[in-house]
Amino acid sequence: MRKLFFTIVLMIGFTAMAQTGHRKGMKDWSPEKIASLQTKQMTLALDLTDAQQTQIQKMNLENATSRMERIKEMKAKKENGEGKTFTSEERYAYKAARLDHQIAQKEQLQKILSKEQLEKWENKKKERMSHREGKGKGSHRAKTHKQ
């Protein structure tokens, strides 16, 4: 039961990521390619050392691999007709598992990155979230509201 909720949580996160315009082609990529690109983006943004790049690459590969596994599981369930609406308890468990994963990720990053790098990464993360919500400077929603 716990695995199911964790899988669902991660699946939703990946689905949300896959629906963004610039990541549509990523669904056909291997976890290694995805992890490599994510690591390179972080290296450019944060000036990572070689040791940091190795640790981040490992973390990104683990995440990408687990996301791909969850996607395959969810597709199989959907094809078998096992997809269903979730109860309140199942949704709660899913959200709790997702937040636990995010906390663990943040703890890992705190061990790998310097304070300055972590702060810069958190700011970039906030900018991306703001842009996705339509509050960013160049977002489509922000432009349409100005007109």
pLDDT digits (tens, 9 = 90+) for 121-142: 999 989 988 888 876 555 444 4
Q: What angle do CA 109, 114, 53 make, to 5 degrees?
A: 60
Report the alpha-carbon distance of residue 35 to residue 63 in Å, rounded: 8
In this predicted model, which residue has the larger pLDDT, 77 or 31?
31
Report the alpha-carbon distance of residue 107 to residue 28 in Å, rounded: 30
pLDDT confidence of residue 94: 84
Which residue from 20, 19, 61 is spatially nearest to 38, judged by alpha carbons? 61
Query: Tens of pLDDT along 78-120?
Result: 787 766 677 888 889 989 998 999 999 999 999 999 999 999 9
